Each structure stands twice: as C-alpha cells, then as structure tokens.
Homo-oligomer: A and B are copies of this chain.
Amino acid sequence: MRCVVIHEGNLEIQERETPNPGPHDVIVAVRGAGINAADLMQRDGHYPAPEGWPVDVPGMELAGVVSAVGERVHEPLLGRRVCAIVGGGAQSTHCLVPSEHLLFVPDHVSWDQAGGFPEAFTTAHDALVTQGQFSAGERVLISGSTGGVGIAAVQIARALGAHVIAVTRTSEHHEALRECGADETVTLDQVGEVGRVDVILELVGAAHLSVAQGLLNPFARVVVIGISGGGSRVDVDLRLLMGTRSTLTGSTLRSRSRQEKGEVADRVSQTLIPRWRTGEVRVPVAQSFALEEVAAAYEYFAQPGKFGKVVLRIDE
C-alpha cells in the first residue's frame, strides 16, 4: 500500500505492507480520508496514536470499499461502501478497521464527502447527545462552527430539534451556517448577547468559554471537545456552576476502547446515517487534495477562513 508517513515532523509518501485483518477486522481500500486538527498535532509530535494503531501513519477517518475481511467477520461486507473513524493510519491506500466500527455510506454520496463524514459527525453526535444529554427544544450554543465538527454539530442539533446558535470568529460564513440549520449566527464578540442556553458545545476553548459561561440556564451542560482557537485554561466561576447546577465536561474519542467506539458507531448508524441518506445532513467539503499533495493539504487545513472539510482523495 501507499501511505502518508510522519518522518521528523515532515509528511512523506511511502510504500508499506498492507496489513492483514485480525479475525474481526476488515481492510478498506481508501477513497477519501478527512484531515483533522489532531493530524497536525500528531505531525508536530504532540498527539501520539493510541496503542495498537500505526505510530507514524496519520489519519483518523476514512471512506472507501471493503477489500478484505477477517476470518470471523460473518456479515457480507466485501465490496461495501463504508466509512469509519480509526485510531490512525487512514491517510493511506489501505487501512485496517474493526468491522463493528463501520458505517455504511449512502449511494449518492461522493468519496470526498464520505471521507469527511465519520470524525466530524461521530464527534459532534457523541458530544451533543451522549455527553451533553441534549434533548429537543433546548438552546444549543456551538463555538467554532465553521470547522468540520462545528458544521456537523449545527446540522445534528437542528435535525434533533434544537434552537441552534452558531458562533464563529468572523461573519464570513454565516449564510452557509444558516443554510446548515443555524437559527442564529454570531461572532465571538457578540456571544454575550445571545441569551441563555442549555448546552454549549465548546470547540474553541477559553476565548469563547470565558464569556459563554455567563449564559448557562439551570442544568446546562458544557461539553469541551476542542481548544483549537482559544487556549486550554479558562477562568471558571464556580458560583455560576453552583447557582445553575450546571456541568462542565471534556471528552475525546480517539483514546476510547474498541468496544466503546463500537457503541458510538451504533448510535451514529441509527441516528445519522438515515438522515445522511435523505440529505438532511451533509458534508460540505472546502477542498480535496490527492494523497501525494498531503503536505499542501495540511497547510491549507491550517489556514483560517475555509468552510467545511479538507479531504485527501485516492482515485482507483
């Protein structure tokens, strides 16, 4: 197989042996693999892959066609169009995936879009619904709404009946966010004026949360899954938490156990795949790059101002 390899902080293309699937795994011939902030951290030595996953091949999500199955995989998966989150190794022509983590890609969806679906939508769904215990009719504030997870969260929250307030750094993509389902769009400096909220999905960090904590309704839940833009340390007012009986929690997906990731995939499969099929949720792609253009793709990803996923594509 041909894959991206991190070598002394640089990204190279190398030939490697295609892995053999374990008894419950499959091999996916990758057609699209989204880029995530964690990939850049890993490239720079800050976010090693969890145990059991390739140490130097980045990539936490992929879409493609099942090309081999383990001996104890009894479902007819060979040749199916699938996508999945993985612990690493997705930015490659082939990648090993635990079979119970597979999501089925609807027929009409392009590989660029499919390659950008699993990480963003799984992360957003887990954070909003499982961690945030979000329920219909609640007011949800989503910071960093123009990133992959933010765009997914806006769509999921709206599809599940929230009043969605999307927060961005600039007003550049406000119209696109309203098309995705945001009821309100505001910039960071307007957050103080949006009224009370029940759930905050925090993708930016301190710069947003230091203000947003003043908006908590009783029993509000703040779920921190990203600190990309605003620093990791935030001055939390405990009196606010006590008075509103609110909860601040943080979460990551990557380090979870195989079983737990399977449970997350089941929930996404039940809730989001049908909505993906009907087009109720979709994956805006900012730009796609050939696998060989990976260095340029990471560079593009690191720039602000884009809207949607950045995806590596691998043609047949």
Contacts and interface: CB of A to CB of B under 8 A. Distances in A.
Contact of A238 (B232, B239, B243): B232
A202 B250 CA distance: 19
Interface string A252-264: 1001000000000
Nearest to A242: B250
How many chain copies does the complex carry? 2
14 contacts: A202-B238, A209-B238, A227-B239, A236-B248, A241-B248, A241-B249, A241-B250, A242-B250, A243-B250, A245-B249, A245-B250, A245-B252, A247-B249, A248-B248
Given A247-B248, A248-B249, A235 B237 contact: no
A251 interface: yes
A205 B242 CA distance: 11
Top-3 shortest CB links A-B:
A241-B250, A242-B250, A232-B239
Contacts of A242: 224-225, 227, 250-252
Contacts of A246: 249-250
Interface residues of A, number: 29
A233 to B, nearest CB: 5
A128 interface: no
A252 to B, nearest CB: 5
A242 B202 CA distance: 11
A180 interface: no
A74 to B, nearest CB: 33
Contacts of A202: 238
A244 B255 CA distance: 10
Given A239-B250, A241-B250, A248-B249, 13 more contacts: A205-B238, A224-B242, A225-B242, A227-B242, A232-B237, A232-B238, A233-B237, A240-B250, A242-B251, A242-B252, A244-B250, A245-B251, A247-B247
A126 to B, nearest CB: 11
A111 B263 CA distance: 53
A206 interface: yes
